[in-house]
Amino acid sequence: MSWARDCTKRRPAIQAKLTLTSAIPSIAAFCLYYQHTRQRHNYDISKGFKSRMTAPSIYDTVADDFSRVNDLIVQRLSSDVPLVEKIAQYIIESGGKRLRPLLVLLSSRAAGYSKDEHLKLAVVIEFLHTATLLHDDVVDTSDMRRGRSTANANWGNAPSVLVGDFLYARAFEMMVELKSLPIMEILSHATAVIAQGEVMQLMNVKNPDITEDQYMTVIHNKTAMLFEAASHSGALLANADDAQEQALKNYGKHLGLAFQLVDDVLDYRGDAEAMGKNVGDDLAEGKTTLPLIHAMAHSSKENRQLIRQAIRKGGLDNLPKVLELIEASGAVEYTMERARAEAAKASDTLSALAASPHKDALELLTQVAVARVS
């Protein structure tokens, strides 16, 4: 049975999993999206998949691990301060993709790990990611994420920042429990790089002169770095050999870049309901992403000036015209080409790993990353 038919057969079960747990809903959602996209556009997005594994099988390979990770998340969110637990639980349960802890589980298992400390490492990665989300929403003055009100919209900026700090602190407590200085070095370095990436992005708000190279540096730092740290630390935990360690480190980096590039495409061509945010949010916030950079480079002087003014002004007044220029310039196709190239690089790194269901799952993730809608 092909993975596409398997999606159809298992759709009720997938939806039940989405209801019962927030663990990697993106994988299940991808199956549902496959059917929706094929019906709307009459083409098969499964063409070119290298893996025979079905999309739901990504979850199946680590289902028990993920259940235990979810239990551990609840356990380690405990605090004597009720508001800390309330806000932390709210953001943790907000339906995120959980790709980063997934990378820990799959990478460590693909490198031959057979113990349980990878569960704790996965929770560390999830807490670090959640802390960055809390802080990002305050910096961006966001009031909506994944179709729900943000924590800062519900409780205010100060509580959101402080609970983000709590999650960072709890993550570092758990890092110490792992008793691995190399893993602590990777994760502490990643945390610093992510913070620098956020500052770089803040400095470039409403700046239409950011170059493509500068943009790639920003998205590596703010997004791909934690993907890289997740897969790299998973490899270290498994005592992978040098070739496997480097392969899994590079896998996470390239997967994270592909993921963010697609994110930036979806901001201009996505489904608002599926994304849980409005189309054009990046433009409204004055963020110069690759679709805008490419559109400016391939538009007339008059249209280039219109995009520049839209970036400097922020807001959505010029969104319809900017969308026209993005489409006319081929910016979406160009950005997706870059995303597919990064996904291909991620896939290529896996040749260093022995055959296993976990390796197959990592392979399929590279395809999911560029075929998603949220």
DSSP run (H or E) holding 148: strand 148-149
Query: Whole-angstrom Cα distance, residue 147 to residue 304?
Result: 32
Domain ranges, residue 18:
3-371
* Nearest Cα residue to 266 out of 335, 203, 200: 335
Query: Whole-angstrom Cα distance, residue 51 to residue 12?
Result: 24
Round the average pLDDT of the chain to a whole number and report it: 85
Q: How many residues does the chain have?
A: 374
CB 145 within 8 A of CB 133: yes
> What CATH code is carried by the domain that includes residue 131?
1.10.600.10
The Cβ of residue 65 has, within 10 Å, a number of other Cβ atoms equal to: 21
Instruction: Give the mean pLDDT of 12-40.
Output: 37
Q: How many domains does the chain fold into?
A: 1
Query: Whole-angstrom Cα distance, residue 313 to residue 58?
Result: 43
Global pTM reads: 0.85
Instruction: Give the mean pLDDT of 265-273.
Output: 79
> What are 87-122's pLDDT values in tens digits?
988 888 776 678 999 999 999 999 999 999 999 999
Work out the end-to-end distance of the chain between its first and last CA atoms, rounded to an integer number of angstroms. 27
Q: 146 is written with which tokens?
A: 């994944």
pLDDT at 53: 52
Query: Whole-angstrom Cα distance, residue 21 to residue 269?
Result: 28
pLDDT band at 3; cut points 50, 70, 90 = very low
